[in-house]
């Protein structure tokens, strides 16, 4: 897929914007496929993560930076933030763990799958430094923790980064996450 995209660009068969969009869409597909696979495999071992009402919780991958803006180029790393809607625990397995533990395991595995160098190379370099609290913070936070972080600790550069944010996985949870982040990204009142 990458060779096809490169040849299209080299032969001038697409615009530069189309080239960046195709590279971004390829990254999205790789992230979606890997996330779905890792989620299903983890659920076989630890059960399905659910909230206190028994509703299945999705793993939400948010793209920021160039990937978030659909402007990925050939040498770009991918900036990601991992989150999930609600706390709870897994059900359906004897090996019960919290949602935080479940999604942290998936996040760690996703980073490894995408960035580990093998004999065939690597898929993408993954940068997690744009997540709340940066490298010193948890790899994965639930929606409430994300909302609290940005409302009380969010800095201007994080507001600018989130303008380009785009949810890649998580389905219906995306609209809820956007509504939680909107007051931070688009403040009602600005300081001098």
Give the model's pLDDT for residue 188: 73
Cα(77)–Cα(56) distance, rounded to whole angstroms?
31
Give the count of beta carbons closer than 10 Å to the beta carbon of residue 8.
Answer: 14
For 82, 83, 137, 164, 184, the CA distances from 104, given in Å and listed in that order, are 9, 9, 12, 24, 25
pLDDT value, residue 191: 65
pLDDT level of residue 192 (50, 70, 90 thresholds): low
Residue of 189, 184, 110 whose CA lies nearest to 153: 184
Nearest of 31, 5, 156 to residue 106 by alpha carbon: 31
- For residue range 113-171, what is the model confidence (pLDDT) as tens digits? 999 999 988 999 999 999 999 988 999 999 999 999 999 999 989 999 999 999 999 98
Q: What is the pLDDT of residue 170?
A: 92
Strands (E) in the chain, as ranges, are: 48-50, 60-64, 78-84, 89-91, 126-127, 140-142, 166-169
- pLDDT tens for residues 20-57? 999 999 999 999 999 999 999 999 999 999 999 999 99
């Amino acid at each position: 897929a990458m060779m096809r995209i490169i040849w299209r660009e080299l032969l001038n068969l697409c615009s530069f914007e189309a080239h960046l969009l195709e590279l971004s869409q390829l990254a999205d597909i790789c992230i979606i496929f890997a996330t779905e696979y890792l989620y299903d495999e983890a659920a076989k071992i630890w059960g399905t993560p659910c909230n206190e009402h028994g509703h299945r919780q999705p793993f939400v991958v948010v793209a920021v930076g160039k990937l978030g803006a659909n402007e990925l180029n050939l040498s770009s790393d991918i900036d990601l933030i991992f989150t999930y809607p609600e706390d709870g625990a897994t059900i359906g397995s004897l090996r019960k763990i919290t949602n935080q533990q479940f999604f942290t395991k998936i996040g760690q595995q996703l980073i490894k799958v995408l960035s580990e160098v093998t004999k065939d190379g690597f898929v993408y370099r993954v940068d997690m430094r744009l997540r709340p609290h940066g490298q010193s913070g948890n790899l994965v936070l639930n929606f409430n923790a994300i909302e609290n972080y940005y409302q009380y600790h969010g800095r201007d550069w994080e507001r600018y980064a989130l303008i380009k944010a785009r949810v890649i996985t998580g389905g219906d949870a995306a609209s809820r996450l956007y509504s939680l982040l909107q007051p931070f990204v688009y403040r009602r009142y600005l300081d001098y």
